[in-house]
Chains A and B, each alone.
Chain A
Amino acid sequence: MPKILAVGEISNGVLKKASRETTSVGKRLGGAVDAILLGSGASAGVAELAKHGADTVYVGEISPYNGEAYAKAVVDVVKSKGYDIIILPHSWIGRDISARIATALNTGVISDATEISLEGDRVKIRKPVYSGKAFVNLKLKTSPQVVTIRPNAHPISEAAGAGKAETITVDASSAKAKEVKFEAKGGTRVPLTEADIVVSGGRGIKGPENFPLIEQLADLLGAGVGATRAVVDAGWCDHTLQIGQTGLTVSPTLYIAVGISGAIQHMAGMGSSKYIVAINKDPDAPIFKVATYGIVDDLFQVVPPLKEELKAALGR
């Protein structure tokens, strides 16, 4: 069996969902999995990762975040303990460190897997390319194998692991790029890439004064809030909400597209959602081609009763 290291993420002692995903995938592939958690309050995540099967969990404090130091810490663990497969989330951090880690280990990286399996001792992944207009199946020729997995696209499973914490030191003092300031954004809602439900608004909402309609619908469902590039470019909401080729990629269970026509660039960011609901008054809008359920009507007529129906159904 290959030795697997799952890279997790933690911030202020709160484990990111992606950590459970990489550990669960590692357990599924390898039978045994260790994990590494670097971040503020990292040791708080050890017991939780043990519930997904992690045996040894390497923990280290790193604040503020530093990609060079983070990658080096992972590389040092891989070199000293000898891992065959390193699994990272294809999150902001995973994108920032995976190729650094692979290159330092003189190996390659395959990224953004929507499917992952083991053939012999080789990891095989499937990933979307060309904005989701095609998929490619890939393997690495070299070892160790570094792979990133698409957030929210892989099941989380329970398994009993030893959950033994091992503290490592992370040293950012010699880093050539350093964070000097951080401004939190996005508020209190669930992060878009972790959300089970995403409600997203497009040009059909007509103006910034109507964006709260999207937010209210999202809050009723405990959902994340997204938007199309047109809405962001028009300044109707913050650009961190943009979903699509030049924004975030999301894979929720349910994606509710409100007043969104479904341009290919937008579909690139939400095409791997499990179910899609489209509300648009144009029956020819391309979004209806991918929608599980479509409502052809004026969103301003649909959303208010939809909110009432949801309140009644959810008892809120």
Chain B
Amino acid sequence: MNTLVLIKQVPDTEAKINVVGGKISEAGIKWTISPYDEIALEEAIRIKEKSGGTVTAIAVGDDSVQNALRSAFAMGADIAIHVKVENYQMLDSFGIAKAIASAIEGADYKVILAGRQGADSDNGQVPYILGTLKGWPVVPFAKKVEVSADKATIVCEAEGGEATYEASLPVIITANAGLNEPRYPSLKGIMASKKKPIESKTADISAETKIEVLGFEPPPARPAGRIIDGADAAEKARALVKALREEIKVI
């Protein structure tokens, strides 16, 4: 059972994001595998441990994304594919999906896993675009995955509850928080990851992009708030209710 994991490299969630001249300044940013993709990778490794096969990690971007692929090796990926593109733009879901689709043409993956959304764009579009281009089913927000020879059963978070899906293979599954707890790479894994070859491919997606990025902005400053004073907790509670009723009139 060969699996493919879509890996996106994103700024560490603790990273400070600075906007300079309408662009994101990359100075000082520490990059990492998007946290949901790490959960997807862990699930692929578990499928391999149970049913055999290989785990392939694929990432689209400039040469820097090879770091994310090395981390994927360290966790347990067998094969890594770097799809090198010019003018990578993290919001260009269609271009990224097209690059992946062309890179995996002819390969035989039964399960394709990805995080439910990238921690940069928060879009969650690439799995659907890839699925629609390839004619593969997409099941999102997985909390539990079971794969047999000819189908996958997925329990996922759905509108108003929890849904169980059955899907034919190949299937694209997006990982939700809580699907598993990603392992820490072993020292041996980290050492070995440095020597493994990364397969390199190129894709020209310049004609594929469907979005126009007009510019980034820092978040607007929230209007200054105030600390409610009072002699004791009860007095503060009373003052708060008064403020909610009379100042901002929300209750």
Contacts and interface: CB of A to CB of B under 8 A. Distances in A.
Contacts, number: 249
B200 interface: no
A309 B238 CA distance: 6
Interface in A183-202: 183-186, 191, 196-197
A26 B163 CA distance: 31
Contacts of B165: 177-180
Given A129-B120, A177-B171, A293-B240, A275 B217 contact: no
B211 A306 contact: no
A245 B10 CA distance: 14
Contacts of B162: 182-183, 185
B219 A132 contact: yes
Nearest to A181: B164
B243 A293 contact: yes
Contacts of B159: 9, 11, 65, 91-93
Interface string A86-115: 000001110110111011100111111000
Contact of B163 (A182, A293, A308): A182
A195 to B, nearest CB: 12
Given A294-B226, A295-B240, A135 B219 contact: yes
A305 B238 CA distance: 8
A137 B135 CA distance: 31
Given A134-B219, A177-B171, A111 B123 contact: yes
A220 B8 CA distance: 43
A254 interface: yes
Contacts of B104: none
Interface residues of B, number: 80
Interface stretch (B49-57, B58-66, B106-114, B124-132): B124-132
Given A254-B250, A275-B250, A288-B225, A297 B233 contact: yes
Contacts of A197: 250-251
B192 interface: no
B213 A128 contact: no
Contact of A177 (B120, B139, B178, B212): B139
A168 to B, nearest CB: 20
A148 to B, nearest CB: 9
Nearest to A254: B250
A42 B159 CA distance: 17
Contacts of A313: 241, 245, 251
Given A136-B91, A178-B165, A293-B243, A128 B225 contact: no
Interface of A: 9, 11, 64-65, 67-68, 91-93, 95-96, 98-100, 102-104, 107-112, 124, 126, 128-142, 175-186, 191, 196-197, 221, 229, 239-240, 242, 245-247, 253-254, 264-265, 271, 275-277, 283, 288-298, 301-303, 305-306, 308-310, 313-314
